[in-house]
Amino acid sequence: MSYIYTGNSRSFLRISFNLRATLFILKISMAEKKEIVNLLDEIADFLEFHSENPFKISAFRNGSNTIRKLNDDINELVNSGELKKVKGIGKGIYAVIEEYCSHGFSTALDELKKDIPDSLAELFQIRGLGPKKISLLFNQEKIKSIDDLKTACNENKLLSVKGFGEKIQQKILEEIGQIEENRNYLLIHFAERESGKIKILFDELPVIKKYEFTGEIRRTKEVYSSLEVVILVESDKVDELLSSFKEKITLDVISGEILKSNTAVKLPLTIYLVHSENDFTARLFETTGSEEFLTKLGYASNKFRSDNEEEIFSKMNAQYTAPEMREKDFFSISNKELQIPSYLTNEQLKGFLHFHTTYSDGLNSVEEMVSSAIKLGYDYFAVCDHSKTAAYANGLSEHRILKQRGEIVDINSRTRWRLLQGIESDILTNGELDYPEEVLQEFQFVVASVHSNFSLSEEEMTRRIVKAIENPFTDVLGHPTGRLLLHRAPYKHNIKKIIDACSRNQVALEINAHPNRLDLDWRNIFYAREQGCLFSINADAHSLDNILLTKYGVAIARKGGIQTKEVINCFDYKTFVKFLNRKVTRKVERYE
């Protein structure tokens, strides 16, 4: 990759700028489409920050949208010069793209960022603060960072700035508080990356007989505050192990058999040293937690010991509980059958559902997405681009629906794929889907999702979603609570009423596998299973690499104990088609 990604598009470009010399030396000459999209968006933001010509700002934003919709490889288009011929890519924008693809940085962006502190990029994380307002705060109040902004809010200085008032100031303080709290956590894919660094280190040390990650990692949390590892090492090899560690990482605490480092990776790291198999299992069991689970279980480390966890549970006359299910919520499950561990795997998913393409805001074509999914073992597919209300995501008009449908018919006739045309239809404020019945009935699969008006009351939002669930064409309720982990709280809603509606109307609940969502929340899975709901595990993929995110949805499903028979993606094709036709007749003509 030609960039370092921190979870924020602005951050990755800032880091690229700081590493400009390194990138040039490495002669990185390949760029991904999403990098170019982010680059042009960032240039547009900083042009707006500097109050540049509105037409120039629009040109870069339009250029970003143009690149997003391209099907061809961006590097090939640049190298051949064909990108110059694409409508919406003028000479200036082409020059920016060509430079970035060749060298991995942008002189234009560097110039726009000159004399602007890196810390200013933090302000772009705050919802409601666009480039113009950030410019106003920077130039008028000399605010250069989130800390500066927090101080200004606490001193009521924003009340004298045009366009800001008491409510906005309070909202900004709330946003800052959330950002500060979230700094201590990582999303699941970033935590996985950090644990991978530790794994590489440990695998290089033969003195370690075996090790296993424990704590939050072993329980499959949505967000992570720490990494914990149990290591089995012979007692007379501890000094050798410590010497090896000190060559690689800084140990901030060495206390008996517990080692801690706050700088080895991006999360606090705790290492537990043990010297026998029984001690390894006991330490793993008690550090897996959670504390509430162990307390309710009545676990005492000095009483229950064994070299395998199943026997520990047996000694306590308790049913074996999978590590990912060891939360206090486990004990609230009234139906004991739902406490059975899940052994769901990616390989059991036959249907690749709810993915986006260049027809809306995806980065790859229909054919590219399906071809990649086939290589991963999927058997049938339902493309679900955004609907017409989602103008920000290039949602499909009725005319473009027909164009996509024609392409799908052509692809199926050439390949004999089981490719269906679905849609992610926006749930309007009144609960209607954003196409009339005569359009909805032509789709073969419908995901209904909320993408706007998040501030409704609990009663209004619940009524809105339930009405959409009751629509006979709705097959799946997409990302049911609307949360964005470490960024946006769920909208106000009564999740039990929504789950009840899904159960009554035979609508599957989505487990959106994107690390930013992991929605449905696993805590609600138990209740949904008790009501007999079905689930759909979807990556909500917008690019080829997004397809691999499905594994996180599977992990969350396992945390809720979900079995294969409860997941519509696990249905064989005939059973899936039967599901599609449970309420309305779908025009599904596919090859057996």
Residues 209 and 231 in one domain: yes
162 lies in the same domain as 200: no
Residues 216 and 313 in one domain: yes
CATH number at residue 144: 1.10.150.20
Task: Say whether the peptide bond before residue 314 is cis (omega within 30 degrees of 0).
Answer: no
| 497 within domain boundaries | yes
Structural domain boundaries enclosing 140: 118-182
- Clarify whether residues 65 and 145 are in a common domain: no
| Residues 70 and 37 sit within 8 Å (Cβ to Cβ) | no
End position of a domain, from candidates 133, 152, 182: 182
Q: Is 442 found in the same domain as 325?
A: no
Whether 452 and 555 share a structural domain: yes
Highest mean pLDDT among 132-146, 150-164, 295-309, 345-359: 345-359
Same-domain status, 490 and 355: yes
CATH number for the domain harbouring residue 45: 1.10.150.110
pLDDT band at 72 (very low <50, low <70, confident <90, very high): confident
Tell me which of 12-16, 309-313, 326-330, 585-589 is least confident.
12-16
The span from the CA of 153 to the CA of 492, in Å, is: 27
CATH number of the domain at 257, please: 3.30.460.10
Paired tokens of 525: 């899975």
Inside any domain, residue 4:
no
* pLDDT higher than threshold 70 for residue 133: yes
pLDDT score at 13: 36
CA 445 – CA 131 distance, rounded (Å): 39
Please tell me the distance from the alpha carbon of residue 102 to that of residue 316, in angstroms, as a whole number. Answer: 63
Among residues 130, 163, 182, the one where a domain terminates is 182
Instruction: Specify the amino acid at residue 317.
Output: N
CATH of the domain at 507: 3.20.20.140
Instruction: Give pLDDT, residue 129.
Output: 86
Which SS3 state, helix, strand or coil, does residue 482 take? coil
Q: What is the mean pLDDT of the chain?
A: 90
Do 284 and 195 fall into the same domain?
yes
Per-residue confidence band for 304, with pLDDT thresholds at 50, 70 and 90: confident
- Whether 401 and 483 share a structural domain: yes
Same domain, 147 and 275: no
> Is 338 within a domain?
no
Choose among 123, 128, 131: nearest CA to 149. Answer: 123
Least-confidence region, from 229-243, 260-274, 392-406, 577-591? 577-591
Does any domain span residue 592? no
On whether the CB atoms of residues 315 and 304 are closer than 8 A, the answer is yes
The predicted structure's pLDDT at residue 302: 67
d(CA 579, CA 589): 15
Using the 3D structure, point to which of 332, 358, 378 is the last residue of a domain: 332
Rounded CA gap, 90 and 114, in Å? 24
Confidence class for position 30, pLDDT limits 50, 70, 90? low
User: How does strand 227-232 pair with strand 210-214?
Assistant: antiparallel
Please tell me whether residues 510 and 400 are part of one structural domain. Answer: yes
In a domain, 344, yes or no: no
Q: Total domain count for the chain?
A: 4
Q: Do the bridges between strand 419-426 and strand 445-449 make them parallel or antiparallel, or are there none, so unpaired? A: parallel
Cβ-based burial of 570 (10 A; exposed 0-12, middle 13-18, buried ≥19): buried
Flag whether 502 is in a domain: yes
User: Are 82 and 161 part of one and the same domain?
Assistant: no
In a domain, 585, yes or no: no
Q: What's this model's pTM, rounded to 2 decimal places?
A: 0.84
